[in-house]
Amino acid sequence: MQYIDIFVSNILPIFLIAGAGFLIGKFTEVDPRTISRVVFYLFTPSLIFDSLTKSPLNQNDTILIAAYTIANLIAMGIITWILAKSFKLDRKMIIALLLTTLFTNSGNFGLSLNLFAFGDDALSYATLFFSTNAVLMYSVGVILASMGAVSLRKALFSILKVPVIYALAFALLFNLTNWELPLFLDRPISLLAQASIPSMLVLLGLQLQKADLSNHKRELSLANVLRLAIAPLVAIGLSALFGFSGILRKAGITELAMPTAVTAIVIATEYNVEPAFVTTVVTTTTLLSPLMLTPLLLYLNR
């Protein structure tokens, strides 16, 4: 009964909103790319700036969360690389597999789940995990995906086009200097921030229509095992190593145990790194995630 209560209260609402997005995409001509750009350039930066400038997190929290997220990326990268090599996968597929295992859906899914399961305090921590993950996605992820497609210099310069980075930088500057936005700026940014989570979930539903389960079944199974089974164990182990406890521990483990990031589809498509495979992994890890997340939430709430 407790499993059912956790699922219905915390996970089902997310799938209902994403399901609404899926149905809208199926029966109308909504362009997911348009919504993705609005979320990417407007809602997400507003959420990051608003959350970080109004959260009680201190500088030590920020450094610790960033280090934990980077350590998780390195650990998952090593595990994925070793298994991919043992499966004798080609170079492009290895890169695609890394995109699906290194970067979590800490925005669309993770922020919502932390808010529903653990409350506003967890959302403050989760936003910083999401910010770090987004920076890594658009730096390490872009460099990985662009290997062989564009020069390293061009890949590095593309990071400068990511608005999340600027939102994070300005938020840290405001926190360090104790600046405050005037009310006429604070209110619209707060409203845009409030629109980000439902918009992300609708976008998730729109993106789930592009899956193709007919190809790369072995690689697909490997990606799902890594993302849904291995990643939560790595997150739990690293949280103990970093000495996390309380809400910080719950938010960190939950964020890094999420299914594959929807943004991986955008990067894989842009650089032609097995985009159909990446889209399918995003879909399958998302649909299968309640089987892992429900017992994980039960474990974290003990």
Its pTM stands at 0.81
CB 256 within 8 A of CB 242: no
CB 56 within 8 A of CB 125: no
* pLDDT per position as a tens digit, 238-266: 999 999 999 999 999 999 999 998 878 87
Contacts of 124 (CB under 8 A, 6+ apart): 51, 55, 56, 57
Give the number of domains in the chain: 1
| Percent of the chain residues topping a pLDDT of 70 | 92
How many C-beta atoms lie closer than 10 Å to residue 87's C-beta?
13
Measure the CA–CA gap between 277 and 282, rounded to whole angstroms.
Answer: 9
Residues 63, 69, 74, 76, Cα dihedral to 10° = 160
Domain that holds residue 281: 2-300
pLDDT (tens, 9 = 90+) of the chain, 302 residues, equals 567 887 888 888 888 988 898 899 888 888 887 887 788 788 888 988 887 787 766 677 888 999 999 999 999 999 999 999 999 998 889 999 999 999 999 887 898 899 888 988 888 888 888 888 888 887 788 788 877 566 667 766 767 777 877 888 888 888 888 888 888 999 999 999 888 878 878 887 887 776 666 677 899 999 999 999 999 999 999 999 999 999 999 999 999 999 998 878 877 876 778 887 888 898 899 889 999 999 999 999 88
The CATH number linked to 59 is 1.20.1530.20
